[in-house]
Amino acid sequence: ESNIGRISFDRSVLLCLSLLLVPASSSTPSSGQLTDLAQQRGWPPCQRKDRAGAAELSPLAFAAARLSDWDIRPHIVCLINEVTQATVAATKAASSSTKVRRSRLNRLRKLRLALADCLLELDERDLAELIYKEAASTVESGDAAPSIEDWHRLGWFPIGTGELDADPVLSAFGSLPNAVATVMLRSENFDRRKLFTELFYSSTMEWTPVDTIDSNGVIRLAPEVSWGELVNSLGSTSALEFQGWLIGGVYTTKEINDADDHETDLQWSLVCDGPAAVTVDDVVDLSADRYMRGRAVSSVAGRLLTNRRGVHLLAARVRGKQAAAVSCRFVSAAATGSKFRAWPPDFLPDLLLLEGQDAAFLTGASAPIFVPVVSLRTTGALSCRLDCSGDKIDCRMGPSKLIPSKDLAPGQMGFIAGDLQLTGGGTGGKDRRTACKASGDSLRLKLRLSCKDSGPAQEMQVTLRCRSPDQSVLFTFVDHDGSVQRAAAIAPIEWQGGTGRSQKSQAVRLPIVVSLHGTSIKPEDQADSHKFIEAGGDASAGYRFGISGAWLLAPSRHGAHNWEGPGALTAMRAVEVLAEVATVELPAADPDRLVFLGHSMGGHGALVLATHWPGRAIGVASLSGWLRKEDYGDNNVYFRHDLSSWQVSPKLKSILEAANAENYVDSHLTNIKVSINFLDVTAKCVSTVYFFSRLFI
């Protein structure tokens, strides 16, 4: 001990660690000696700060340092110090309560794992193996599953509501490991690299442990922000949108080296709900639907984590409005016996009942069904088959014409698609009408997904709406980006008798009225808003839906979107699909003669589409719309209320701003060759409810 400050770094590490193997011995190096060792080498002192003052350093700090571009040798000294204190604490807790003893042993286990990880980085493999075994000895029987603990939050910051925006954390630190290590280990550097946010009175970012976790493992996030005061002072509701990162540690003591054991033992899948993105050890792993805050599953992460013992950094990017909820957990495939997971289809087509016709859907005799599936396998492809059955009517699934049959790679998430066919239609679809009437204008079917050599099949119930030609009909399609979307359509009034096309009308191609909905409106509700009662008619007969001499199409895109960029492409893709499918039983649709109209956000979208596709526009109507989304509410606000924008690259900022400029329709109105009708309904117009102002069309 007297020479510890004069020997080489590697020898001092070995000496300290060998002494640690004798718990609470008199020869255990003291904190003072370790501090002297660090000072002699000019290394920064070990920072032990949190909001409560002096506290224990989290193993996350050392995991982050190992993953960052730092020299980890100085921090091993701090880590040895932490292990020393944890060893003494665990020994003293031997006679304490079970809860205290488990807590002390758990901390010791996590610190040992972090220490072994760092030793591997220095090629001290034999010593690392010894420390790994010591960590495993503190794990109770039956508790070998990877655990996610020590959640912290890095935030919160304002966020733009567009589909692209800057990330203050990554902009300032370059990577999440750098951010975590800087905050937890080098607080003096962090003080000089503050991140600013107007969400808190301090105007600076906070790194805080998360303790709002319910019994189901869901992290409830409600930033303690004076939202009302903030909105009033900024004059902007965009301040309600916030972003940040949740950082957690994944601790595992198990490693599978035998390839033969992969299919039986290596079946841990990471399931996250709520985050916009998830990274494991700073590698983007979970490919969630970026347009929706929803499910994200990966068995690749499970393999990564259990293939290497130690501490892993799990980061979840959070986006929310005033509040958010996030959960991540490990699911054992061995416990369920299944190597895949499936969910009911996000969107379903409607059943179309045509008098005396065999067509069952707007798309014809069959309709595409898309079942989201994730492979929980760690080796080998997942090959699945989709089947169908019904109580009131027979059905079957044929090969999909839209998505070719393909296997899923380990950890991959995709769709298993098939074309649904109703085989018990009877003459002119008589049996379908009977089945729909017996089930209250709906048809319940059972989908069965079976995957080869991957456990038991999974079944799910789905319900299809039964619709007549004078009602809106939903159909599904594959969008320009490969996602599954839906749209609602209403046939021209002249063809709503349900008898289909006549020989005389074979060559008729009718224009399409593209009706774009406002925020939060469903496509079927948007289509159904085009209704009227015939003058002089019987009011008790109800409304008539649709437009004379034209198809009505109400497209939509799931998740947060607007009618700019991907939203515009989705609307035009729906036009193409309608023109392709409405050709057999109903009049053809002409994709080159379009009337664009919309309400509120849809009013802006109508102008966006008309200025981008002027050669196909024969009419435009914008109801309660606007010319630039930035000038309405707080949509697409980039950097306006973000004090961290000075850290964003000027080139990136200019690109984002230029991307908005292409949708400034007032700059592109000269593209339109037809007259434009602006209908603005204000609060003074008390005779018409705002929501139904689109009826003025």
Q: What is the pLDDT of residues 525-534, one digit of tens each?
A: 999 999 988 7
Residue 645 lies in a domain: no
Range with top average pLDDT, 40-49, 85-94, 545-554: 545-554
| Residue 451 and residue 333 in contact, taking contact as beta carbons nearer than 8 Å | no
pLDDT at position 622 over 80: yes
pLDDT at position 17 over 70: no
The DSSP letter of residue 87 is H
Which CATH number goes with the domain that contains 509?
Answer: 3.40.50.1820
Query: Do the strands 509-516 and 588-599 form a parallel or antiparallel pair, or are they unpaired?
Result: parallel
Q: Are residues 282 and 193 in the same domain?
A: yes
Range with top average pLDDT, 2-6, 155-159, 607-611: 607-611
pLDDT at 612: 94
Cα–Cα distance measured from residue 219 to residue 22, given in angstroms and rounded to the nearest whole number: 39
pLDDT at 465: 93
Range with top average pLDDT, 33-37, 535-539, 656-660, 668-672: 668-672
Q: With CA atoms as reference, report the closest residue to 305 among 262, 279, 268.
A: 268
pLDDT at 503: 44
pLDDT at position 501 over 70: no
Q: How confident is the model at residue 492 (pLDDT cuts 50, 70, 90)?
A: very high
Q: Where among 436, 467, 498 does a domain terminate?
A: 467
pLDDT at 436: 85
Q: How confident is the model at residue 24 (pLDDT cuts 50, 70, 90)?
A: very low
Phi and psi at 652, nearest 5°, equal -65, -45
Range with top average pLDDT, 85-99, 279-293, 388-402: 388-402
Q: How confident is the model at residue 294 (pLDDT cuts 50, 70, 90)?
A: low
pTM > 0.75: yes or no = no
Q: Looking at the 3D structure of the chain, how many domains does it have?
A: 4
Q: Are residues 167 and 313 in the same domain?
A: yes
Long-range contacts for 666-670 (Cβ within 8 Å, ≥24 apart)? 666/627, 666/628, 668/611, 668/612, 669/607, 669/611
Q: Are residues 160 and 221 in the same domain?
A: yes
Q: What angle do CA 95, 101, 102 make, to 5 degrees?
A: 155
Cα–Cα distance measured from residue 672 to residue 675, given in angstroms and rounded to the nearest whole number: 8
Cα–Cα distance measured from residue 113 to residue 590, given in angstroms and rounded to the nearest whole number: 65
Residue 198 lies in a domain: yes
> 618: domain range?
470-628+663-697
Residue 540 lies in a domain: yes
For residues 224-252, average pLDDT: 82
Cα–Cα distance measured from residue 593 to residue 212, given in angstroms and rounded to the nearest whole number: 55
Q: Are residues 551 and 685 in the same domain?
A: yes
pLDDT at 285: 58
Q: How confident is the model at residue 581 (pLDDT cuts 50, 70, 90)?
A: confident
Q: Are residues 564 and 686 in the same domain?
A: yes
Q: Are residues 233 and 284 in the same domain?
A: yes
Cα–Cα distance measured from residue 408 to residue 557, given in angstroms and rounded to the nearest whole number: 25
pLDDT at 22: 43
pLDDT at 336: 66
Q: Are residues 352 and 406 in the same domain?
A: yes
Residue 650 lies in a domain: no
> At 135, which amino acid appears?
A
For residues 99-112, average pLDDT: 87
Residue 651 lies in a domain: no
Percent over 70 (pLDDT), the chain: 71
| Residue 194 and residue 182 in contact, taking contact as beta carbons nearer than 8 Å | no
> What tens digit of pLDDT does each residue of 363-394 get?
878 888 999 888 877 778 899 999 999 877 88
Q: Where among 313, 336, 359 does a domain terminate?
A: 336
Cα–Cα distance measured from residue 190 to residue 206, given in angstroms and rounded to the nearest whole number: 11
Q: Are residues 463 and 476 in the same domain?
A: no
The DSSP letter of residue 563 is S
pLDDT at 164: 42
pLDDT at 1: 42
* SS3 at position 434: helix
Residue 192 lies in a domain: yes
Q: Are residues 598 and 667 in the same domain?
A: yes
Q: Are residues 124 and 256 in the same domain?
A: no
- Least confident stretch, 135-149, 453-467, 494-508: 494-508
- Least confident stretch, 255-269, 510-524, 552-566, 653-667: 255-269
Cα–Cα distance measured from residue 465 to residue 347, given in angstroms and rounded to the nearest whole number: 12
- Least confident stretch, 92-101, 265-274, 451-460: 265-274
For residues 632-639, average pLDDT: 55
Q: With CA atoms as reference, report the closest residue to 571 among 594, 548, 589, 590.
A: 594
Cα–Cα distance measured from residue 439 to residue 146, given in angstroms and rounded to the nearest whole number: 47
Q: Is 19 exposed, middle or buried (0-12, 13-18, 19+ CB in 10 A)?
A: middle
For residues 250-262, average pLDDT: 60
Average pLDDT, the chain: 77
- Least confident stretch, 43-52, 205-214, 390-399, 655-664: 43-52
Tokens of 250: 């994944």
Q: Where among 104, 136, 168 does a domain terminate?
A: 136
Residue 205 lies in a domain: yes
Range with top average pLDDT, 41-55, 226-240, 677-691: 226-240
Range with top average pLDDT, 284-298, 414-428, 468-482, 651-665: 468-482
Those residues whose C-beta lies under 8 Å from the C-beta of residue 662, and which sit 6 or more positions away, are none
pLDDT at 516: 96
Q: Are residues 354 and 463 in the same domain?
A: yes
Q: Are residues 99 and 207 in the same domain?
A: no
pLDDT at position 654 over 70: yes
pLDDT at position 472 over 90: yes
